[in-house]
Amino acid sequence: SNCILYKHAVTGAELMSVHSKDENKTFGAVFRTPVENSTGIPHILEHSVLCGSRKYPIKEPFVELMKSSLNTFLNAFTYPDRTCYPVASCNTRDFYNLVDV
């Protein structure tokens, strides 16, 4: 595999690109969500993000994607210090649709 790490000059956001022979295409957005207490705010925000948007005005876009997508992985996770939104598909068109949502 060939890996390249990019860092945005202004925001410091990082992007890692990994090229391999695997036909499964994957993408994950990970955000730091440190907490000061145990109220569950990052987990609430994770679910709020999955509740649609102006571009996708449906209640649960991930649920709808599960029904019609060729995804090999589609989920979201909240950890004590970060929240992750990974997607994967072997189909290129489906993969870019998942990333767009």
Hey, what amino acid is at 92?
T
Query: Which residue in the list 14, 46, 60, 64 is annotated as catalytic?
Result: 46
Q: Is residue 46 among the annotated active site residues? A: yes
Residues labelled as active-site residues: 46
